[in-house]
Amino acid sequence: MPEERKPFGDHRVSLENRERLSVTGVTDVISFDEECVVCETGMGVLVFKGSGMKVSSLNVGSGELSLVGSVDSMAYESGRDGRKTKQSMFGKIFK
């Protein structure tokens, strides 16, 4: 019997020339401005940092997010199963 998946459990991140970013499997956009975009995926919270970033399209119904701007970094704040890791929790406390 196949394992049942939760909605948007899988996702894909595609970055073109550090200027166009597409993400699938997005369940929520927590915050965004020109320097930081934080979104929730089925695989954990994903943070993009850069400059001049703008959300060009968002469809939470289909789980698709597109950004334009200069992307400098991408990092997950949670473990693969979506639970917070000890390192990220302490990282938030000592920011």
The answer as to whether 51 is a domain residue is yes
Per-residue confidence of the chain (95 residues) as pLDDT tens digits?
Answer: 444 434 556 789 999 999 999 999 999 999 999 999 999 988 889 999 999 999 999 997 899 999 999 999 999 985 554 445 444 444 555 55
Among candidates 8, 71, 13, 64, which has minimal Cα distance to 41? 8
Q: Residue 73: its pLDDT value, please?
A: 94
The answer as to whether 73 is a domain residue is yes
The answer as to whether 79 is a domain residue is yes
pTM for this entry: 0.72
The answer as to whether 53 is a domain residue is yes
Q: Residue 21: its pLDDT value, please?
A: 96
Q: Residue 60: its pLDDT value, please?
A: 79
Tally of domains in the chain: 1
The answer as to whether 18 is a domain residue is yes
The answer as to whether 5 is a domain residue is no
The answer as to whether 7 is a domain residue is no
First to last CA, the chain: 45
Domain hosting residue 36, numbered range: 13-93
List the CATH number of the domain containing 75: 2.60.40.2000
